[in-house]
Chain A
Amino acid sequence: MNLKNNATISCDLLVIGSGIAGMVAAARAASLGLDTVLTGSSSGFFLTSGLLDFLGVYPVESSQVLESPFNGLDQLRKQNPDHPYSKIDNKTILESLDFTARILSSGGLEYSSAKNTNVNILTSAGTFKPSFLVPQTMIKGSSIGSGKKKILLADFKGLKGYSAALIAQALKRRHMDVTTVTIQVPQLTGDFNVMRMAALFEDDAFLHRTAKQIESSVQDREILGLPAVCGIHNSQDSMKKLENLTGLDCFEIPGLPPSIPGLRLKNAFETHILKNKVRVFNNVKVAFTAFENEQILFTTDGEPFRTQIAAKGVILASGRFPGRGLAAHREVIRETVFDIPVYHPQQRSLWYQLDFFSPQGHPVNRAGILTDSDFRPVDKTCQPLCENVYAAGSILAHNDWTRLKSGAGVSCVSAFCAVNHFHARKKIK
């Protein structure tokens, strides 16, 4: 690669944003043989739970938790024709999720699902969250929902923001049989961080010591719940070793960021993408400069190496407010790369509800970019703004993923379909 000042890079597809949508888009593009450049920062993965949801709740007003996403999908499409899922059929959705699981597997991380149904995953707040594709280290936890298992919950002394007792009390409300054990970690004292904790799990001696401390609490227990810090690079192995040592089934419980399952997800995506020759500009922000001869030109920020990128197509997967794909001002919400018009409630007084936990969600969370059925952003007349610019992921409008539990699903599906469409159009030409 030429790193000279003002070098120009040409590519088929530029993916802006390195979240789930960006990663899936880049992986899909690479698998279709497109010359792909990926920009943006992947540190947002630290804030994700590591679970890949599809559709967990619908309708949100009645807080209806779905046993299978497909149970709510038809109703969603009917009531909300602008929702990203309304633009795609079920087969494509499954195909895209399958594709995502495969690329993660190629990156060294196994995800599994339960036959087209949601799995309910216990979180560190003691709640159950409906999800679809779940890391192997968490999948066994879905079996406790029945309430028949005898559960042992472990926490670590000094690990902040996670308490087995808190979860146990919440589970007792659901009449489950729970006991807890607190594990001492002599290696770590005072104010330590989760990364150190997670790294310890890759040490066999530590696993032995941990198993020994659990030993006396095992008794009649059948399954062991641990905070989601069981190893960074070999979490599946560590989990298996711990299962062998304790004789219990083990599962991880996702919780507060910084999230180790999120880090694993990031590592797996990045491993796969680098293996497949996607050119990655990590931590690089691009600024749109011009449309020129069917190409879209960008410059990267940061002196002195300003690089020009000329792309035949763009996937805008820059995320919402935390990813800075959208920027909210006192009066208006703007899209930050192209300044594409953003659909949002007009007055700020309408953005949020008075109840933070309002089941129907805050209107501003449904704000975002409106697209046509091929995920190309549209103007007021519903015509695509540009033939070869696509939007994918959480930036899309009408998808309140925190309420629908549809974040990763929409990201995977929209990215997958957008890349497919771009590829098909290119071939016709």
Chain B
Amino acid sequence: MMFETLFYISLFLCAAGCIFQWVRFRRAGLMFKPASSDRFNPGRLYPNPVNLILSFLNTIFQIRLFAAGKIRWLFHFFVFAGFLYLVTVHAFHQVTAVVLFDYYDPTVDPFQFLRNLFGSLVVAGCILFFLRRGLRLRVNQIKSNWGSHLKYKGLVSIILVFLIVGTGFLLEASKIISEPVFMEMVEDYSDLEEGDELEELKLFWQEKAFVSFDPTVPADPEKLKNGQVLNEVYCISCHSDIRSSFVSCLLADLMSFYGTVLNQTRVDVMLYRVHYGLCLALIVFLPFSRLNHIFLIPLSIAVKNQAPKTHHQKTAQVFGASLFACTNCGYCSQVCSVYPHFQITGNPDVLPHSKIETLKKIADKHPDVSLWGLQKGNNACTQCNKCTQICPSGIDLQTLWAVTHRIFSDNALVNNQTFFNRILPEAWADLETEPRMLIARQELVSDLIEKTDAFENCIQCTICTNVCPVVEYDSKDNDYTPQQVMNLLRLDQKHLASGTRMVWTCLTCYACQDICPQKIPVTDIILELRHLGGVRADAVKLQQTVKKRVEIS
């Protein structure tokens, strides 16, 4: 009764947790809705059943994970398959096995054997997990401290699972050696009284099933044989050979050294409570633990596969559900095309797994979030789609980054290309911002903009303009030509120059620099101007953001 009440309380707490999380995910989705659009519709967050089934199959066999990493797949498979069996057939046997199999009993083969088998799978998976964490056996481990804050993520869940299964085994073992349990059984299922027959049965169980009796029943082959007969009469219908529970047997063998003490303290009862308690804890903890990815991944895959009605709908769905399906496995970062960007700048938010972590923090209104880092990192994305392809959780990362771009642009934190597309160079030059705050200007390698002899030698021959592919093919949108940019510098208009389309649409083909009869490093100067403009733009954007008082964080 007590246990049942606790179970329902846990279920209730779990349900409450689910609701809480659901609200959180939904809020995350709404959090990123476009500020300006009133057509925004959070969309149908419930994917269609076919997709759900398909993605559930993926969850069981973890096909995506198999494609991404074999070791990780292996322990996932062990733990997941093992635990799935234990939950369905063992924990909830009342509604599954008992209903399905009329001969079911936990101590009957094959259930006894299977329980041990799957339990040992879970344990093996957990051990593999711990070894992998501890020994850093990750494939293509990114060599940096990028994941230090994620080191203990997911550990609680796996420890919990390990403890549940571990206590399960111990519980089984302690029951095996338990004299009181034996006596209860005898009382319930036989008509044996104190006497030789009981002694014979005791001896049989002592010899064949490790039960620790106090005092020990003296061995006698004759009695053992009789015991076996008695066993066949009374026990065998409900108890398969104890050795089929191969793990517990082993444990019981070991425990039987202290059998008397353990039996006297009724360790089996204690273990049962612990085991049960841990299971309830798991239920309560489920919505908040890493284990939720078991449910979120199929959801996110289903969402991804589902054709959205509008982009906005997709936005909300993607954010609402799949943001939290991420398990920080890091495969995305290992394949990230702009990984070298991270190596040079040290900005972790270049990498997808870190970006998604930051996005989660933003959704949770976490106080210390570097929007700048995320914006810069997200700008570096080349949309190569590799992260989406490899993501074992099946998150539509590509769309996520695209939406992130929009979040920033809605909050005045647009990327520089967009920023300079929106502002006219003349207006840009008139802005009264000097980039001294927040971002220290990185030392330029050669500082050509300040070296007048770099651009002053221009003889106005316009050859650079003539060979420029941007001028050739983008003449409508382009404004100043390369040599006019050099002129702007000579006219002391470096800010104007840094805001020109030419600077931001330059393909860096170096045709102008190669052909210049005066050997002016035209392209190098343009790239430096881009850097200068970028640094100043950051300051301007920050000002605008503050002005708009949009508080994302």
Q: Which residues of A pack against B, CB within 8 Å? A: 41, 43-44, 46-47, 189-196, 257-258, 282-283, 322
The total of Cβ contacts below 8 Å across the A-B interface reads: 41
Query: Taking CB as reference atom, which chain B residue is nearest A282?
Result: B514
From 167 to 222 in chain B, residues with beta carbon under 8 angstroms from any chain A beta carbon are none
Q: How big is chain B's contact interface, by range?
A: 10 to 19
**Is B466 a contact partner of A193 (Cβ separation < 8 A)?**
yes
How far apart are B501's CB and chain A's nearest CB, in angstroms? 14
How far apart are A326's CB and chain B's nearest CB, in angstroms? 15
* Contact A193 to B465, CB < 8 A, known contacts A41-B519, A43-B517, A46-B517: yes
* Contact A41 to B517, CB < 8 A, known contacts A193-B462, A193-B465: yes
Tell me which residues across on chain A come within 8 A of B472, comparing CB atoms: 195-196
Per the bound structure, the CA–CA distance linking A195 and B471 in Å amounts to: 11
Indicate which residue in B463, B475, B481, B514 contacts A46 across the interface (CB closer than 8 Å). Answer: B463
From 465 to 481 in chain B, residues with beta carbon under 8 angstroms from any chain A beta carbon are 465-467, 471-472, 475, 481
Tell me which residues across on chain A come within 8 A of B307, comparing CB atoms: none
Tell me which residues across on chain B come within 8 A of A190, comparing CB atoms: 475
Per the bound structure, the CA–CA distance linking A41 and B519 in Å amounts to: 9
Tell me which residues across on chain B come within 8 A of A194, comparing CB atoms: 466
11 A-B residue contacts at CB 8 Å? A44-B517, A46-B461, A46-B463, A46-B515, A189-B475, A190-B475, A193-B471, A258-B461, A258-B462, A258-B463, A283-B519
Tell me which residues across on chain B come within 8 A of A189, comparing CB atoms: 475
Query: Taking CB as reference atom, which chain A residue is nearest B465?
Result: A193
**Is A195 a contact partner of B466 (Cβ separation < 8 A)?**
yes
| Residue picked from B459, B461, B467, most chain A C-beta under 10 Å | B461
Tell me which residues across on chain B come within 8 A of A43, comparing CB atoms: 463, 514-517
Query: Taking CB as reference atom, which chain B residue is nearest A262?
Result: B463
Extra contacts, 18 of them, besides A193-B462, A193-B466 (Cβ < 8 A), are A41-B517, A43-B514, A43-B515, A43-B517, A46-B463, A46-B515, A46-B517, A190-B475, A191-B481, A192-B475, A194-B466, A195-B467, A195-B472, A257-B462, A258-B463, A258-B466, A322-B459, A322-B517
Tell me which residues across on chain B come within 8 A of A196, comparing CB atoms: 466, 472
Tell me which residues across on chain B come within 8 A of A193, comparing CB atoms: 462, 465-466, 471, 481
How far apart are A365's CB and chain B's nearest CB, in angstroms? 18
**Is B475 a contact partner of A47 (Cβ separation < 8 A)?**
no
Per the bound structure, the CA–CA distance linking A190 and B463 in Å amounts to: 18
Per the bound structure, the CA–CA distance linking A83 and B475 in Å amounts to: 48
Per the bound structure, the CA–CA distance linking A41 and B463 in Å amounts to: 14
Per the bound structure, the CA–CA distance linking A191 and B517 in Å amounts to: 22
**Is B517 a contact partner of A47 (Cβ separation < 8 A)?**
yes
How far apart are B527's CB and chain A's nearest CB, in angstroms? 18
Tell me which residues across on chain A come within 8 A of B516, comparing CB atoms: 43
Per the bound structure, the CA–CA distance linking A224 and B248 in Å amounts to: 105
**Is A283 a contact partner of B514 (Cβ separation < 8 A)?**
yes
Tell me which residues across on chain B come within 8 A of A192, comparing CB atoms: 475
Query: Taking CB as reference atom, which chain A residue is nearest B468?
Result: A193
B327-344 interface mask toward A, CB cutoff 8 Å, 1 = contact, 0 = none?
A: 000000000000000000
How far apart are A142's CB and chain B's nearest CB, in angstroms? 27
- By DSSP majority rule, is chain A's interface helix, strand, loop, or mixed? loop
How far apart are B473's CB and chain A's nearest CB, in angstroms? 10
Tell me which residues across on chain B come within 8 A of A44, comparing CB atoms: 517
**Is B461 a contact partner of A47 (Cβ separation < 8 A)?**
yes
Query: Taking CB as reference atom, which chain A residue is nearest B462?
Result: A258
Per the bound structure, the CA–CA distance linking A192 and B517 in Å amounts to: 21
How far apart are A201's CB and chain B's nearest CB, in angstroms? 15
Tell me which residues across on chain A come within 8 A of B467, comparing CB atoms: 195
Tell me which residues across on chain A come within 8 A of B466, comparing CB atoms: 193-196, 258
Tell me which residues across on chain B come within 8 A of A258, comparing CB atoms: 461-463, 466
Query: Taking CB as reference atom, which chain B residue is nearest A198?
Result: B466
Per the bound structure, the CA–CA distance linking A192 and B472 in Å amounts to: 9
Per the bound structure, the CA–CA distance linking A194 and B519 in Å amounts to: 21
Per the bound structure, the CA–CA distance linking A190 and B465 in Å amounts to: 14
| Residue picked from B463, B471, B475, most chain A C-beta under 10 Å | B463
Per the bound structure, the CA–CA distance linking A196 and B514 in Å amounts to: 19
How far apart are A397's CB and chain B's nearest CB, in angstroms? 23
Tell me which residues across on chain B come within 8 A of A283, comparing CB atoms: 514, 519
Per the bound structure, the CA–CA distance linking A159 and B516 in Å amounts to: 22
| Residue picked from B466, B514, B516, most chain A C-beta under 10 Å | B466
| Residue picked from A190, A192, A193, A195, most chain B C-beta under 10 Å | A193
Per the bound structure, the CA–CA distance linking A194 and B468 in Å amounts to: 12
Tell me which residues across on chain B come within 8 A of A46, comparing CB atoms: 461, 463, 515, 517
From 241 to 286 in chain B, residues with beta carbon under 8 angstroms from any chain A beta carbon are none
Tell me which residues across on chain A come within 8 A of B462, comparing CB atoms: 193, 257-258
Query: Taking CB as reference atom, which chain A residue is nearest B467?
Result: A195
Tell me which residues across on chain B come within 8 A of A282, comparing CB atoms: 514
Per the bound structure, the CA–CA distance linking A41 and B472 in Å amounts to: 23
How far apart are A161's CB and chain B's nearest CB, in angstroms? 10
Per the bound structure, the CA–CA distance linking A46 and B517 in Å amounts to: 8
Per the bound structure, the CA–CA distance linking A44 and B461 in Å amounts to: 10
Tell me which residues across on chain A come within 8 A of B463, comparing CB atoms: 43, 46, 257-258
From 512 to 526 in chain B, residues with beta carbon under 8 angstroms from any chain A beta carbon are 514-517, 519
Query: Taking CB as reference atom, which chain A residue is nearest B515?
Result: A43
| Residue picked from A194, A195, A196, most chain B C-beta under 10 Å | A195
Per the bound structure, the CA–CA distance linking A115 and B240 in Å amounts to: 119
7 nearest A-B residue pairs (beta carbon): A195-B466, A43-B517, A193-B466, A258-B463, A43-B515, A46-B463, A257-B461
Tell me which residues across on chain A come within 8 A of B461, comparing CB atoms: 46-47, 257-258
From 447 to 472 in chain B, residues with beta carbon under 8 angstroms from any chain A beta carbon are 459, 461-463, 465-467, 471-472
Per the bound structure, the CA–CA distance linking A257 and B515 in Å amounts to: 14
Per the bound structure, the CA–CA distance linking A357 and B466 in Å amounts to: 30
Per the bound structure, the CA–CA distance linking A251 and B254 in Å amounts to: 108
How far apart are A253's CB and chain B's nearest CB, in angstroms? 19
Per the bound structure, the CA–CA distance linking A23 and B119 in Å amounts to: 84
Tell me which residues across on chain B come within 8 A of A41, comparing CB atoms: 517, 519
How far apart are B188's CB and chain A's nearest CB, in angstroms? 88
How far apart are A352's CB and chain B's nearest CB, in angstroms? 19
Per the bound structure, the CA–CA distance linking A156 and B515 in Å amounts to: 26
Tell me which residues across on chain B come within 8 A of A47, comparing CB atoms: 461, 517
Per the bound structure, the CA–CA distance linking A193 and B515 in Å amounts to: 16
Per the bound structure, the CA–CA distance linking A193 and B462 in Å amounts to: 8
How far apart are B471's CB and chain A's nearest CB, in angstroms? 7
Query: Taking CB as reference atom, which chain A residue is nearest B459?
Result: A322
Per the bound structure, the CA–CA distance linking A44 and B517 in Å amounts to: 6
Query: Taking CB as reference atom, which chain A residue is nearest B461?
Result: A257
Tell me which residues across on chain B come within 8 A of A191, comparing CB atoms: 481
Tell me which residues across on chain A come within 8 A of B459, comparing CB atoms: 322
How far apart are A125's CB and chain B's nearest CB, in angstroms? 17
From 389 to 416 in chain B, residues with beta carbon under 8 angstroms from any chain A beta carbon are none
Tell me which residues across on chain A come within 8 A of B465, comparing CB atoms: 193
Per the bound structure, the CA–CA distance linking A63 and B413 in Å amounts to: 68
Per the bound structure, the CA–CA distance linking A322 and B519 in Å amounts to: 11
Query: Taking CB as reference atom, which chain B residue is nearest A324?
Result: B519
Per the bound structure, the CA–CA distance linking A283 and B523 in Å amounts to: 15
Per the bound structure, the CA–CA distance linking A46 and B459 in Å amounts to: 12
How far apart are B178's CB and chain A's nearest CB, in angstroms? 78
How far apart are B453's CB and chain A's nearest CB, in angstroms? 13
Query: Taking CB as reference atom, which chain A residue is nearest B519?
Result: A41
Tell me which residues across on chain A come within 8 A of B519, comparing CB atoms: 41, 283
Query: Taking CB as reference atom, which chain B residue is nearest A195?
Result: B466
Per the bound structure, the CA–CA distance linking A195 and B465 in Å amounts to: 9
Per the bound structure, the CA–CA distance linking A110 and B477 in Å amounts to: 39
Per the bound structure, the CA–CA distance linking A395 and B12 in Å amounts to: 95
How far apart are A289's CB and chain B's nearest CB, in angstroms? 21
How far apart are A28's CB and chain B's nearest CB, in angstroms? 24
